[in-house]
Structure 1
Amino acid sequence: MSEIQLKNISRHELEQCLKCSICTVYCPVSAVEPKYPGPKHSGPDLMRYRIKDAAFFNENLKMCLNCKRCEVACPNDVKVGDIIQEARIKYSTHTPSLRDRMLANTDFVGTMATMVAPVVNFSLGLKPAKTVLHTVMGIDKHRTFPSYSRQKFETWFKKEAEEQQKQFTRFVSYFHGCYVNYNYPQLGKDLVKIMNACNYGVHLLEKEKCCGVALIANGLSAQAKRQGTVNLKSMRRSIENRDEAIITTSSTCTFTMRDEYKHLLELDNADVRDSLMLATRFLHTLITAGKIRLAFKKDYRKKVAYHSACHMERLGWIVYSTELMRMVPGLDLIMLESQCCGIAGTYGFKKENYERSQQIGATLFDHINEVDPDCVSTDCETCKWQIEMSTKYKVINPISLIAEALDVEETRRLNTVHEADKPHIQGDLAMP
């Protein structure tokens, strides 16, 4: 066995697999799809054979959601999901179709769509358009598409950038991602509102590309690596400029750049990884350290059901979002049972996956209906699309809920202190 192969086994802790099959018990695909062999067999078991002979690769691995629940459940920290995804990257002979490329190239499609957003949004809701997408492209006709914004977040922010620089002396960099840029700029505006109230300015990265998660899932890992290289270069520039953190509002973007860049794309991100975090983690850390304070509207009332997105489970960061929401006196937070919603990014848009995707999420949808909240909250935008399509409830990111409940003037007053009284905290935020 070659040195490269041995390194590959060690990197994913393949040899630590106990064959206990607990990963299969927690696999949402195995629960509804008899044809899927399960994560243990698809991952550690067959990887031992694939290393010797690529013929042992099976295209059924494309059924994997890459939800990482197998890794959360594993008692021995085997990167089961990464083993499966790496096998798809290295051994699959499938050529990405036009559909796969369109679903994966979110920057290109988003840029085009926002130019004629009203037309695109109207067209995608028409039955004839859905029929064409279903029969020609293989995008299921039952799937509801997220709306595109008329104005990109980056366009809005350009008008704000000069004021940010004038008013503040402490900054964070914001990786906004495709969802905020093309579909829902309001989430980015909400983050800027909160950070400004806390006496922090916001920078955008010098150059930002899609995190690459959709590219990896659709067999375009080389392009994902190129885009990841651009993102890492921009993050390093932010750190050099002494921005205190690189914050995000998407759990999947965060997870991809922190972990999959290293494990799947072989991009060295060690120098930026600890500075990259969800905005809820950044805010929670500052609050618990006594660095900032938040004030909320006295008349704010809302019953919120929180959905634990799969990649939030893998990051182990659910506590930051939920504890931050619990700080709002008028917010009644209900934790939904932790389970996959089934969409897995572009997975649930594909005709061959749609029924399976809905079966996976069915219990979650039933639970939400039983709770009957004012809204659902989650840190993942594609979970939002799945839940909003499959239930009658609106889904709101925790950051937007905090912004909605925030007493901006009082928060600004509480955080208006001299810069010298607020020590640099980047070291406090580093995590192992």
Structure 2
Amino acid sequence: MSLFAILKSSGTQSGRLTDRSFDQCLKCTACSSQCPVAAVRPDYPGPKQCGPDGERLRLKSPDFLDEALKYCTGCKRCEVACPSNVRISDIIAAARTTYGDQKFKVREFMLSHTDLMGTLTRGSAPLVNKMTGLKPVKLLLDKGLGVDQRRQFPPYAKTSFRKQFETVAGSQQQYARQISYFHGCSVNYNMPELGMDLVRVLNAMNIGVRLLKKEKCCGVPLVANGFPDKARKNGTLNIASFEQAMTEGSEGILSTSSSCALMLKDEYPHVLGLDNSKVQSNISFITRFLAHEFEAGNKPKMKPVNLKVAYHSPCHLIKAGGVLHTLNVLWEIPGLELQQLNSNCCGIAGTYGFKKENYETAQAIGSPLFKQIEESGADYVVTDCETCKMQVEMSTSKKVLHPLELLRMALVD
């Protein structure tokens, strides 16, 4: 059962509890010491108070809901720090949706329904990109919807990834090994070149790429913005697509987004109550897959890439335990000088940093990271997360690359 269902079924009149997992909390405050929001917002009570402590009160009465819950970024650093494996961030997200304001919000809908928004830009991406960059439009979004006018929107691609993939789809059948790719909204509508880099890298390793027959947004922005039912519907479709792909000969399902991979593999069961057990072990973030392939001796031929890069570890990849896999992959690139940045949250947290009331918090959280990047002397910043890329490129002078982009640059043609 998902956390959202647990809270709904618990009720506030009967006092009946379906799940008391929050009672595992030792009250050690390790979570609060690692919370990036608590570090910059004195008015935020912290994850322990908003999560396990607050849930005990909310189960007695929804009147105990603290509006400060909206300041949680969902970065999950509290869960990484927790010695008792309490899902603090998920408790906060579920409480915010279940007990909070249930009114329909246009801003939250727009920011979270990424498939729909991407589809609406079809054939008009250049115009949309120009419009969202105009000061009057930014001001209108700020005053009318609460999307901060200082935030830069990621540009939409003129041609979607799925459309671009058609140019190489036929050649993928020549490879004995086949992998299915969950490209996600960002690659399909904003960064199709990253998806094409995946194809080039895997083809250089004698692996063919297939697209899923159908896929929908993984659900991360939907959960964060109060649409768990829509996220559950998307997840049901995605799991069915994964199961179909496995029966049709795919070795597994890969994602190039650290947040998508975490949701698809680890969080569907306990956040949305979805059973992905038939395919869970087959879902992987790209660098985990590549690290294992490299270790087994399947590496593409690479030439030196004489660059200095600074690596930023995304919060959700830290939660998934995947940072070492990315580092292992980057260390294999000849000529690359790699600096690992301090483990600081960038602050954007998906759609969080787009909201007017969160913008200053997001920038304050990311400030130590931005300073370190500017002082690094690196040619590029490297990260696995598309929204971290947005935040760093907006807040520093550096261009950000995905690990796959560096691998593609190193390929011997």
State the TM bucket, normalised to the shorter chain.
Answer: over 0.9
- The verdict on how the C-alpha distance between 1:325 and 1:115 changes in structure 2, with shifts beyond 3 A counting, is same
Structure 1 gaps of 5+ residues are: 409-432
1:59, distance to aligned residue in structure 2 (A): 2.6
* Correspondence 1:8 to 2:19: yes
**Match of residue 145 from structure 2:** 137
CA distance in 2, matches of 1:293, 1:372: 29
Q: Percent identity?
A: 49
| Aligned residue type for 1:282 | F
Pick one of 172, 176, 189 that aligns with 1:182.
Answer: 189
Distance, in Å, in 2 between the alignment partners of 1:53 and 1:135 is 34
Q: Which of 391, 396, 400 is equivalent to 2:401?
A: 396
Specify the code of the residue in structure 2 equivalent to 1:17: C
- The answer for the alignment partner of 2:13 in structure 1 is none
Give matches, 1:195-206, under 5 Å.
195-206=202-213
After superposition, what is the alpha-carbon deviation per residue over 1:36-92, rounded to whole angstroms, capped at 9, x for unaligned?
110000001111222232222223211100000001111222111111112123222
Check the 8 A contact 1:152/1:182 in 2, yes or no: yes
2:53 pairs with 1:29: no
TM-score relative to the length of structure 2: 0.94
The one of 47, 64, 67 equivalent to 2:75 is 67
2:129 is the alignment partner of 1:121: yes
Partner of 1:324: 329
Q: Secondary structure at the match of 1:143?
A: coil
SS at match of 1:385: helix
Corresponding position: 1:286 with 2:293:
yes
1-structure distance, mates of 2:52, 2:401: 37
TM-score by length of 1: 0.90
- Distance in 2 (CA, whole Å) between partners of 1:380 and 1:271 is 27
Q: Secondary structure of the equivalent of 1:201?
A: strand
CA distance in 2, matches of 1:239, 1:398: 26
Q: Distance in 1 between matches of 2:278 and 2:63?
A: 38
Where does residue 364 of structure 2 map in the other structure?
359
1:334 to 326, 333, 339: 339
Q: CA deviation at 1:289?
A: 2.2
AA aligned to 1:213 is V
Structure 2 spans left out of the alignment, 5+ residues: 1-5, 11-15
Task: State the SS of the aligned residue for 1:305.
Answer: strand
Q: Matched residues in 1 for 2:157 and 2:143: separation?
A: 27
- Counterparts in 2 of 1:146-161, with a 5 A limit? 146-161=154-169
**1:339, CA displacement in angstroms?**
1.1
For residues 249 and 207 of structure 1, the distance between their equivalents in structure 2, rounded to whole angstroms, comes to: 17
Which one-letter code corresponds to 1:142 in the other structure? R
Deviation at 1:7, TM superposition (A): 4.3
Counterparts of 1:224 and 1:21 in 2: how far apart (Å)?
31
Asked whether the 8 Å contact 1:85–1:264 carries over to 2, the reply is no
Give the letter for the 1:294 counterpart: P
User: Would the aligned equivalents of 1:215 and 1:221 in 2 still touch at CA under 8 Å?
Assistant: yes
Does structure 1 residue 313 correspond to structure 2 residue 318?
yes
User: Could you say what secondary structure the match of 1:261 adopts?
Assistant: helix
Q: Which residue of 2 aligns with 1:296?
A: 302
How far does residue 159 in structure 1 lie from its aligned partner after superposition? 2.8
Root mean square deviation, CA, Å:
1.6
Give the counterpart of 2:260 among 253, 261, 267.
Answer: 253
Separation (CA, whole Å) in 1 of partners of 2:249 and 2:20? 37
Q: Secondary structure at the match of 2:19?
A: helix
One-letter identity of the residue aligned with 2:321: G
Secondary structure in structure 2 of the residue aligned to 1:277: strand
Contact 1:96 1:219 in 2 (8 A): no
Give the distance between the partners of 1:59 and 1:77, measured in 2 at CA. 25
Amino acid at match of 1:393: K
Q: Deviations over 1:245-284 (max 9, x none)?
A: 1001000011111222112211111221111111111111
Give the residue type in structure 1 aligned to 2:382: S
SS of 2:339's equivalent in the other structure is strand
Inter-partner Cα distance in structure 1 for 2:200 and 2:50: 45
1:407 maps to 2:409:
no
1:295 to partner: Cα distance? 2.0
- 190, 209, 229: which one pairs with 1:222? 229
1:54 aligned to which of 53, 56, 62: 62
2: CA distance, partners of 1:379 / 1:249: 7
Deviation at 1:6, TM superposition (A): 4.6
Q: Which of 226, 231, 234 does residue 238 from structure 2 map onto?
A: 231
Q: Distance in 2 between matches of 1:159 and 1:52?
A: 58
| Structure 1 stretches of 4+ moved >4 Å | 1-7
